[in-house]
Amino acid sequence: FDQDDVYLSYLPLAHVFDRMFEEVFISHGSRIGFWRGDVKLLVDDIAALRPTVFCAVPRVLDRIYSGLTTKISAGGILKKTLFNLGYKMKLDSMKKGIKHEKASPFFDKLVFSKVKERLGGKIRIIVSGGAPLAVAVEEFLRVVTCAHVVQGYGLTETCAGSFAAIPNEFSMAGTVGPPVPHIDVRLESVSEMGYDALASIPRGEVCVKGSVLFSGYYKREDLTQEVLTDGWFHTGDVGEWQPNGALKIIDRKKNIFKLSQGEYVAVENLENIYGVLPEIDSIWVYGNSFESFLIAVINPNQQALENWAGQNGVTGSLAELCENAKTKEHFIAELAKAAKEKKLKGFEFVRAVHLDAVPFDMERDLITPTYKKKRPQMLKYYQGAIDALYKSSK
């Protein structure tokens, strides 16, 4: 980073992700702009400030991805054909190891420059953190933004980034890259989930050690002892080492549950798969040990839903569309299609849905300031809808 770099601050200032980037930018004499506080205007803020570096949590990048794909789908035949041709050619070139700026200069100028300009025209690197970013979204943004798109991984307890993918290394798409200097990392087997750290493909809970670690939770020695063992911090995240030395976050040790038939469900993995559907803005998948199947609460993408409704003779406001039985059948069918494409097991299919026209928000205490789901609070808020879904689906 240098004095010519510009950074847009919109993540919570109390959150270590944004805090560390701001301090790095200040130390390099770079410039920092602050958003207006409305997530719906975030893309407009980006276009106005014209940042060179953009940090985001997956939820924000998912919104950008959904907005772009919806706009592309609504374009004319010629525009869509040109976009799809350029996208395929550039993606194929990047997968062969060609750097993004040399992969397809012609289509960058003809097609993708319009996307880059929508994001201010100067972004050279997009950093994603806070949760795993879907591979489809990462690949799409790597192609159409004409910028480096990398994932990183870290926690407040590790002073933010402990892993960072290498720019222009396409083989690291879908991973958080290798460890940064000055830390030690190991995987610890999680037998109850079938993860073996000593297998040919090592999988296990990510444990971190080094000078960057926190000393403990303030006045909570009990919690500190739960996560710190012999200097190793147990993150609760499950990772998989890749042949190129990068780490892929594949699961969350704490966010698993068992269905009544004894099958374990890794719920975050399913939400990442289902959440990239253009019809979905956000999804919460739920199940418990007293039921044999999964259900979901979905925030539908308004434009995609209204387009589908117009094509299928379904009328009404957004709230009315969400209550329509035909709409729910459509979403269940789309979820099943995605599940089949990803070769999910039968018990990982979503069998019933509740559609909420109001996005998950902090006002109802359903998400954190970095858009992570607060699952206990969501269960409490949607308990009535959940009970009704299970009752009507049996």
Q: Are strands 294-300 and 350-355 parallel, antiparallel or unpaired?
A: parallel
Q: Which neighbouring-strand residues pair with 251? A: 238
Region(s) of the chain under CATH 3.30.300.30: 256-393
Helices (H) and strands (E) in the chain, counts: 15, 16
Q: Which of 259, 247, 298, 261 is nearest to 277 (CA)?
A: 298
What is the Cα–Cα distance from 188 to 370, expressed in whole angstroms? 27
Region(s) of the chain under CATH 2.30.38.10: 181-241
Region(s) of the chain under CATH 3.40.50.12780: 6-154
| pLDDT, tens digit only, all 394 positions of the chain | 889 999 999 988 877 889 999 999 999 999 999 999 988 899 899 999 999 999 998 888 988 998 888 888 888 899 999 999 999 999 999 999 999 999 999 999 999 999 999 999 999 999 998 888 888 899 999 999 999 999 999 999 998 889 999 999 999 999 999 999 989 999 999 887 788 999 999 999 999 999 999 999 999 999 999 999 999 999 999 999 999 999 999 887 777 787 878 788 889 889 989 999 999 999 999 998 789 899 999 999 999 999 999 999 999 999 999 999 999 999 999 999 999 999 999 999 999 999 999 999 999 999 988 788 898 899 999 999 999 999 998 7
Asked whether the beta carbons of 175 and 165 are under 8 A apart, the reply is yes
Buried/exposed 228-245: b ≥16 CB within 10 Å, e otherwise:
beeebbbbebbbbbbeee
Asked whether the beta carbons of 265 and 296 are under 8 A apart, the reply is no
User: Mapping DSSP to helix (H, G, I), strand (E, B) and coil, where does residue 364 land?
Assistant: coil
CATH class of 6-154: alpha beta
Sign of CA dihedral 149, 153, 157, 159: negative
pTM of the model: 0.75
CATH of 181-241, one of 3.20.20.60, 2.60.34.30, 3.40.50.10490, 2.30.38.10: 2.30.38.10
Fold of 256-393: GMP Synthetase; Chain A, domain 3 (3.30.300)
What is the Cα–Cα distance from 312 to 306, expressed in whole angstroms? 10
Residue type, 19: R
